[in-house]
Structure 1
Amino acid sequence: MAASEYKERYRAQMIRWGEKQRDRDPGFFCRLIVKDVKQPVWIVSDTRRWSDVEWFREHFPQVVQTVRVSASEETRKQRGWIFTAGVDDTQSECGLDEGVRWDWTLDNDGGPEGLEEQLRPLMDYIGGRLPR
C-alpha cells in the first residue's frame, strides 16, 4: 500500500493492535494467510517479524523460500517515504533487517527492468517445483 495520509494517521495504532494479537498468539496472522488457500504457489508479501518467518518454516519446511526486497534509504525517499520516529524504527518495520538467512535477495533501487532480471532465477526455481 502507498503511504497515504489515511494510512499514516492510523499506522501506529494498527501496529499496536497487531502486536497485541501476536503477543496472544504468534501464529495468528500466519494462519489467516494460509486458511483455505489452494494455489500451488503462495506469495506472502510484507512479512515483518522473525516469528512469522519461523512459523512458515516450521509449518512448510520443504517449500518455503524467503525473499528480501530492499531499496536504499535515498531511493525510498525519492519514492515518497518519510521516516517517522516511533513507527519506522519499530519491530514491525525493521524486525527482519538482521539475523535472517534469506534464500533470495533482490535490489529494488533501479527500474522494473532490473527487478525483472533479478526475478527470473526465482521464477525459474518456482516453475521447476510446480506439480506437472
Structure 2
Amino acid sequence: MANQLSGLDQIFSALADPTRRAIVMRLCAGEASVGELADPFEMALPSFMKHIHVLETSGLVQSEKSGRVRTCRLSPDALVGAEDWFQQQRATWEARLDRFEAYVMKLKKEKEGAAAKRPSRASKRKGAK
C-alpha cells in the first residue's frame, strides 16, 4: 500500500499543474511530438521538458526519441490506481450520506409525529372560552 500511495502521490502531484493537465488532455487525442505539445504554451522548451519529465516520472506519459523528434503518448494504465482510490472514496462518502439522509428522515418523522400529538392552536382557543 505504501508503494501504491507513493504512486498516487506522484499522479496527483503531476495532475495538480494546469499545464500538465492540458498536456494529458491533448494526449487523450493521440500521441504527439514534444514540439506539438509545447506549441500552445508560452514557455521555453527546457521549462516545458520539466513538465514532460514529471508526467513521465508519474507514469502518466511515455516518450520515445526517433532521430531528433521525441514523441509522447498517454499511458492510461497509470490512472488505474487513482481511479480505484476515487471509487473507494466515493463509496465511503455515499455510505455516509445515505446514513445522514436516513437520520434526517428519522428526525423529520419524529418531529411530524410530535406535532400531530400536540393540540392545534384552534382547539386550544376553543377550550379557553
TM-score (norm 2): 0.26
Higher helix fraction (1 or 2): 2
Whose radius of gyration is greater, 1 or 2?
2
Higher strand fraction (1 or 2): 2
TM-score (norm 1): 0.25
Structure with larger RCO (C-alpha < 8 A, sep 6+): 1
